[in-house]
Amino acid sequence: MRLLTLLFLTIPITSFAQSPLLQSGPMVGYSDFREVALWAQTKQPARVQIRYHEVGKPQPAYLTNEVQTDRKTAFTAHLLADQVEPGKKYEYELLIGGQKVSLPYPTRFQTQNLWQWRTDPPTFRFGVGSCTYVGEPAVDRPGTPYGGGYEIFTALTAQKPDFMLWTGDNTYTREVDWNSRTGVLRRYTHTRSLPEMQPLLANTHNYAIWDDHDYGPNDSDRSYWLKPVTLEAFKLFWTNPNYVFDEGCTGTFFWNDCQFFLLDDRTFRAPDEMPDGPDKMYFGEKQLQWFIDALRYSKATFKFVVTGGQIVNPSALFENYAIYATERDRLFKAIADAKIPGVLFLTGDRHHSILHKLDRPGTYPLYDLTISPLTSGPAKARDEELKQPTYVDGTYLSERNFGILSVTGPLRDRVLTIQIYDQKGTERWKREIKASELK
């Protein structure tokens, strides 16, 4: 057990931290009307708490629950700000052992607005990105480093999004990691401790879904032997507001008039090489049924479906949904038959960014916005993919990048604006999708 503690202590910590006990964070998690989740990780056992107050009003100040971190949970602390009011912005301070940790960047969070039956929904902006590889030369593959361009997080933070969507491969377990709980927790700690990431975590709400690399080995499926351990790690290091099933990380959340469906494309997934047919499941029967029911129930203007792999791209390549054609057809048919408006997909995985648009007879087109990678090595699309009728010309980008999506306008005329930026923060392309086009 002593060895495990030492392993955590050897992982580099951000140079920003003024407390010798802080490993990573603080991080702002989910936001709702009456509570906001916060998170931090220490290097060794410590008492952790957060003090917060409304912006511009130092008093009254409130305290979250206090957590005593320990090595059994990788020294992580989940904290809850539950003395908040809707539509407010708050400043906060991290306390370790009762002492304030001094940080040279803003530490703020916000609660959601109670706009329903009162006004049009507010404008909001959110970041999107996938594939975050943080190098560790001692255990990385020999040759050219696979991870880099960490300044992308500085560019992302400068955009001041309301929240960040991490759409899979948010950390990369290696051969030394995925066969043990110690290895998995160490890898999650190593990635989360990246210095350039800390200001984004501390000042932006964060939601996440996983893909193969933070779930298990490359291209891993339902047969992965340690998936309860990686699920435990996911729940320790992220603060999603809910988990629909006991297994997997499926969930949902709302931001103003939009709903986000976080779908797990690994836990229930049949092997990629299995012949296609009704038994070759991707999301799995119970998750798929819940998802279709939830879409039917939702009154959201935009229904963002967030998952790791590409959904709309018809090229049956790599791990695209197209190699699970039977289930894919079933899902698309269910959306059309139920006349569910406003559905579009946000995906990652492919190490390039691209927008696909599937025209469907008698109903609206399905969009799939792939945004990838953040810090992993870029990869090119196949020529056949760029010749597909679904490819939206001018949206292909094969370099490190992130997205900023904005939802604006009155309730009956909402507009989604997509902006893609490179790792330096330069805009590379921009598109608009009106809610009226998705009916």
Confidence of residue 19 (pLDDT cuts 50, 70, 90): confident
Is the same domain home to 88 and 152? no
Confidence of residue 18 (pLDDT cuts 50, 70, 90): low
Supply the pLDDT for residue 3.
34
Asked, for residue 140, whether it belongs to a domain, the answer is yes
Is the same domain home to 192 and 331? yes
**Residue where a domain stops, chosen among 49, 78, 110:** 110
Asked, for residue 359, whether it belongs to a domain, the answer is yes
* pTM for this prediction: 0.95
Cα→Cα distances 122→119, 194, 256, 407, 414, Å: 8, 33, 7, 8, 10
Distance CA 111, CA 206 (A): 13
- Tell whether the model's pLDDT for residue 325 goes beyond 60: yes
Asked, for residue 387, whether it belongs to a domain, the answer is yes
pLDDT per position as a tens digit, 381-398 = 999 999 999 999 999 999
- Tell whether the model's pLDDT for residue 1 goes beyond 50: no
Contact 415, 409 (CB under 8 A): yes
**Residue where a domain stops, chosen among 48, 79, 110:** 110
User: What is the domain extent for residue 94?
Assistant: 2-8+18-110
Residue corresponding to tokens 């306390």: 95
Q: Structurally, how many domains does the chain consist of?
A: 2
State percent of the chain over pLDDT 70. Answer: 96
Mean pLDDT, to the nearest integer, of 146-163? 98
Length, in residues, of the chain: 439
- Tell whether the model's pLDDT for residue 12 goes beyond 70: no
Asked, for residue 169, whether it belongs to a domain, the answer is yes
pLDDT per position as a tens digit, 188-220 = 999 999 999 999 999 999 999 999 999 999 999
State percent of the chain over pLDDT 90. Answer: 96
Q: 63 - beta bridge partners?
A: 51
**Residue where a domain stops, chosen among 83, 110, 137:** 110
Mean pLDDT, to the nearest integer, of 228-237? 98
Distance CA 303, CA 300 (A): 6
Confidence of residue 127 (pLDDT cuts 50, 70, 90): very high
Is the same domain home to 96 and 175? no
Is the same domain home to 101 and 246? no
Asked, for residue 431, whether it belongs to a domain, the answer is yes
Asked, for residue 118, whether it belongs to a domain, the answer is no
> 228: domain CATH number?
3.60.21.70
Tell me what the pLDDT averaged over the chain comes to.
95
Is the same domain home to 167 and 105? no
Is the same domain home to 23 and 133? no
Asked, for residue 421, whether it belongs to a domain, the answer is yes
Distance CA 163, CA 161 (A): 5
Asked, for residue 115, whether it belongs to a domain, the answer is no
> 56: domain CATH number?
2.60.40.380
Is the same domain home to 225 and 365? yes
Cα→Cα distances 358→286, 333, 368, 390, 391, Å: 26, 13, 8, 5, 9
pLDDT per position as a tens digit, 21-66 = 999 999 999 999 999 999 999 999 999 999 999 999 999 999 999 9
